[in-house]
A = this chain, B = another copy of it.
Amino acid sequence: MRIVAALGGNALLKRGETPDAEIQEHHILRAVEALAPLSRAHDLVITHGNGPQVGLLALESDADPALSRAYPLDALGAQTQGMIGYWLAQALHNAVPARSFVALVCQTVVGADDPALAHPSKFVGQVYSKTQAERLARERNWEVRPDGSSWRRVVPSPMPREIVELSVIRQLLDAGTGVICAGGGGIPVVREDDGRLRGIEAVVDKDRTAALLAESVGADALLLLTDVAAVEVGYGTPSARAMRHTSVEELRGHEFSAGSMGPKVQAACDFVQATGHMAAIGLLEDAEALLTGSTGTVIQALPPSTAAPARSGSRPAT
């Protein structure tokens, strides 16, 4: 099988942890323990978030104008792909020496006509006072917006349309190499009228990119790996209920939090709808069990009543 596994940002850094290299390398080892069995048996593509990493680099790059002007988001995103890609490739090499693994620097094309480009919505970087924020907006042509009691920069979050390095990714997978790519949703670029690529100041949602990647490489399964065991309906309410085997149709009938589960559910549904193959959302450490459907939320094209369950006993006998 060919599998795309997307690691959530907290696969590398837990909320509240200092973003030290050593801490992240420790988490990477744990992530790779979960991914190693998959990479032994399957063609594996790994993609990953980069929120805390790009946040740190943005802060550092912006701290001292005497050193350099603050770097744009495309360059900072590329830096995080290099670093996280290195950590993952090395840990996978150590865990599964029989396979080769490589991390690619990856660009994601978004539409120059995407309406999101005119409506920045994604908070990035540090918090400012209103006065500071307004000064930066003037000086740097930023959009800024209140975030609670402070102000922050906002950038567009357009939809991914194309992965520039796709043919290389497919070729490597065909030859049995495990590929780490499109980290942080890919470096955001637009394609000019003459076909030239140009980096932009934006953030592409990594789960949407993972779905596009999975569809584009012809994956049999998309695994969205995070720190919750399953998608819940009524999350945070007394009637909360984990969804185990479900369908695009059923999921589309519910609302999920825009900040966390919403994009994952949408990405999973898009992939399943486009391909007829399965997607699953659940714990990183359950990666192998998610694939067999024995845990987590497993999404298939047909509703559970018509789809063959992955194992017997997964629903109560009638």
A-side residues, CB < 8 A to B, are: 18-22, 56-57, 59-61, 63-64, 67-69, 71-72, 74-76, 78-83, 85-87, 89-90, 93-94, 97, 100, 102-105, 107, 164-165, 167-168, 171-172, 175, 177, 187, 189, 195-199
Nearest-neighbour CB distance to chain B for A241, whole angstroms, equals 40
Residue of B nearest to A20 (CB): B69
Nearest-neighbour CB distance to chain B for A109, whole angstroms, equals 11
Residue from B68, B172, B197 within 8 A of A90 (CB atoms): B197
Nearest-neighbour CB distance to chain B for A41, whole angstroms, equals 21
Give 29 CB contacts A-B under 8 Å. A19-B68, A21-B68, A22-B69, A56-B67, A57-B79, A59-B67, A60-B61, A60-B64, A63-B63, A63-B64, A74-B86, A75-B87, A78-B87, A79-B79, A80-B82, A81-B82, A81-B105, A82-B83, A82-B85, A90-B197, A90-B199, A93-B196, A93-B197, A100-B168, A102-B165, A103-B105, A104-B104, A104-B105, A172-B172
Contact present for B64 and A100 (CB under 8 Å): no
Supplied contacts A81-B86, A93-B197, 15 more A-B pairs, CB within 8 Å: A56-B68, A60-B67, A75-B86, A75-B87, A76-B83, A79-B80, A81-B82, A82-B85, A89-B107, A90-B189, A94-B196, A97-B195, A100-B168, A103-B104, A104-B104
Residue of B nearest to A180 (CB): B105
Nearest-neighbour CB distance to chain B for A143, whole angstroms, equals 20
